């Protein structure tokens, strides 16, 4: 069965410092991995994804994520945090079609707080 774990409910980081939001997954076959962000009282916005290819993927707003197959992780990173990055971040996984399931499974979310 597919699953996603975001082990930290909240991450605090000072403005200008690098940030990491962790995500690990479990899925049969090669995963499709996604990060979404939710600002207060808003819907979810796509940040970046890994489908195939380079393990380091770059996305919106200066975010990037590294796919690590051996550690089954897809951590979200940014070199220099901004106060405006404060939001709720979700990791999601989908199994490939040959796995016979078409569900996107989301993690419980990590609240990022960037302190000025």
Residues 47 to 106 in contact with another protein, rule: CB under 8 A: 49, 51, 90, 92, 96-97, 102-106
Whichever of 19 and 107 has its CB closer to another protein, that residue is 107
Shorter beta-carbon distance to another protein: residue 18 or 103: 103
Q: DSSP string of 40-102?
A: TT--EEEEEEESSS-SEEE-GGG-EEEEETTTTEEEEEESS--GGG-EEEEEEEE--GGGT--
- Positions that interact with another protein (CB under 8 A): 6, 9, 32, 34, 36, 42-46, 49, 51, 90, 92, 96-97, 102-109
């Amino acid at each position: 069965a597919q699953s996603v774990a975001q082990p930290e409910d909240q991450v605090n980081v000072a403005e200008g410092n690098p940030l990491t939001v962790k995500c690990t997954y479990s899925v049969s076959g090669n995963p499709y991995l996604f990060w979404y962000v939710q600002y207060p009282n808003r819907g979810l916005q796509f940040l970046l994804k890994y489908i195939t290819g380079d393990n380091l993927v770059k996305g919106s707003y200066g975010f990037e994520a590294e796919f690590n197959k051996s550690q089954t992780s897809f951590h979200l990173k940014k070199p220099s945090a901004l106060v405006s990055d404060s939001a709720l971040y979700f990791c999601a996984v989908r199994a490939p079609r040959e796995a016979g399931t078409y569900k996107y499974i989301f993690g419980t979310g990590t609240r990022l707080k960037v302190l000025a």
